[in-house]
Amino acid sequence: MLKLAMIGCNHRTADIAVRERLAFSPEQCKETLQKWSEAQTCEAVLLATCNRTELYVASENGTIIDDVAVGQFLCGEKNVAPETVRESLITLHDDEAVSHLFHVAGSLDSMVLGEPQILSQVKTAYQMANEIGTAGTVLHGLFQASLKVAKRIVGETEIHQRRTSIPSVAVADFAMQIFERLDDKKTLALGAGEMADETLRYLTDQGAKSILVINRSPDRAEKLAKQWHGRADVWENRFARLAEVDLVVSTTGATEPIVRLDDYLAIESRRQGRPLFVLDLAVPRDFDSAIGARENVFLYSVDDLKETCERNQQSRNRELPKAEKIIRQERCKFWRDMRSRETGSIIRRLREDWKSRKEAELTRLFHKLPNISEADQREVRYAFDRLINKLLHPPLESLRDEADQSHHSVTYLLQDAISRLFRLKD
């Protein structure tokens, strides 16, 4: 009997302090799955992102999945005492686990509805388990189905067509309206916090390559620049660099503008009329609003973006029923496929068992009737085959019907009953 479970935590169940303690780097994921393969018989896929650590485990042969032991294994890999995070860990079984993964892959369980990065993270987790060998038949089927869910949600709804975070809207709905392409544009990030990091991620996704980071802390500027394959500069050079770039992302925590109108006027002529796109995502604002009135300057603040974010969020929410319908359809199909696979195994074992008994009985019969002709032997064999097929037909039809229509637990009960009734061996 097939068993499925998911043990872990995410942004809905655990605060960031807990998620940090249970965070796995890609290398740690690989090491953890290798240890699992050496000590466990169940299948496993470890999905680890900044917002979730979820271990999916499965058993096809009826092996009981010990939730407590799995949780202890997960915690042990991070040297975390299980009792200190017990309230943040969740366990989902069978249909709930399937539904959860489908919501995750479809980006319906993300902090930001429709956030696109999660799908690649699900793919990476699945591919890693494949390479190490911890993903077997069940999890192959489950994760392949989750990728299909995500593809359908992208193709059949508008959830992924509307950005809802400030950085994503800033890039997709504003920057890309000014510039046809970003690969030949110079980008300046003023500030090196999370907002700058996220905005640079969206910009690089759109092709941005030349990135310069300036921050009051040189070390933080160097770190962020290195992450996005750019370079860093010192705070005092911000005005000089402003004269050279095409796009600015400003996210500092300054209490007053870091670029005043006079500062911009001093370097304006050096820009030679080239368009300047400024995403001022700081609160309070980093750029004097009067700069936005200058020719060829496109200056947007958080307030300019919020309306678009809210409008896009409402549009996404209207698409949720379509996405949920897709998940229900694919969840039913997944269980139907799994049931059909197990039903096929039962049917083969039952046929093989009866065929073996038939052959033994025919051998005994023909031994007692040594003078029976070959024609009569064929007739007797034909009669045995017809009788066996008629006897097998009702239980096999019941198995097929239940696999197509019933809940998986009903089908498993029937499979178990037939296996016990006919004493079928695995």
Q: Which of 42, 50, 75, 309 does the annotation list as catalytic? A: 50
- Give the number of other Cβ atoms within 10 Å of residue 396's Cβ: 17
Instruction: Answer for the pair 334, 142: CB distance below 8 angstroms, yes or no.
Output: yes
- Give the type of residue at 242: L
3-state secondary structure of 99: helix
The Cα–Cα gap between 102 and 149 comes to 6
Q: How far apart are CA 142 and CA 331, in angstroms?
A: 9
Number of Cβ within 10 Å of residue 47's Cβ equals: 26
CB-based contact 83:19 (threshold 8 Å): no
Structure-block tokens of residue 334: 């997944």
Gap between the Cα atoms of 122 and 186, Å rounded: 32
Q: Which amino acid is at 335?
A: W
* Whether 134 contacts 36, CB under 8 Å: yes
Structural contact between residues 10 and 92, judged by C-beta atoms closer than 8 angstroms: no
Query: In the Cβ-directed half-sphere of 415, how many Cα atoms lie within 13 Å?
Result: 29
DSSP three-state, residue 334: helix
In the three-class reduction of DSSP (H, G, I as helix; E, B as strand; rest coil), residue 365 is classed as: helix
How far is it, in rounded angstroms, from Cα 317 to Cα 395? 46
- How far, in Å, CA of 229 to CA of 241, rounded? 18
Alpha-carbon distance of 84 to 15, in angstroms, equals 13
On whether the CB atoms of residues 3 and 65 are closer than 8 A, the answer is yes
SS3 of residue 345 by DSSP? helix
Is 309 known to be catalytic?
no
- Please give the backbone phi and psi of residue 90, each rounded to the nearest 5 degrees, phi first: -120, 155
Supply the residues annotated as catalytic. 50
